[in-house]
Amino acid sequence: MILTQILQPNCVKVPVVSKDKEAVITELVDLLDANGLLSDRDVVLDAVLTRERTRSTGTGAGIAIPHGKCNGVKELVMAIGIAHEPIEFESVDGKPVTILILLVSPAEKTGPHIQALASISRLMLNEEFKQKLEQAASADEVYELLNNTENEVS
């Protein structure tokens, strides 16, 4: 799955302003909402936070992939946030996160959701890519980096 087919350039935020887990998730949901990608912001926020309470989406190595499935979106949507100051996320490795990738899909569409999570996971195994993401100075730089990396792979 090509993530830049899901991610819109205006759904990247560098740096995020929030300093804690719930606030940064809300910030990314609001970014999607501000760009007209949600049919119900509150349903989306509740779905993502409920999923987060079940088990942290802090995957380790400074990465969090908060996600949820609900009826607040019509199609798979994505937002990326880069934190210049690490955020405590109750990650599996106990370390704070700097890369946040929010993914929300319709409740009945599991396939694309799983494919996107797998694509994100594969990308995050690339240490050079991950370091460039963490050091990105702008949203445009993050989007361009993702686009270029995906084009190299495909």
| H or E stretch covering 87 | strand 77-87
Tell me which of 21, 51, 67, 69 is the catalytic residue. Answer: 67
Q: How far is 146 from 154, CA to CA, in rounded Å?
A: 12
Annotation marks residue 67 as catalytic:
yes
Residue 35 to residue 94: CA distance in whole angstroms: 33
Please list, in sequence order, all residues whose beta carbon lies within 8 angstroms of the beta carbon of residue 67, skipping any fewer than 6 positions away: 48, 51, 57, 102, 103, 104, 105, 113, 117
Compute the distance between CA of residue 22 and CA of residue 66 in angstroms, rounded to an integer.
Answer: 10
Catalytic residue ranges = 67
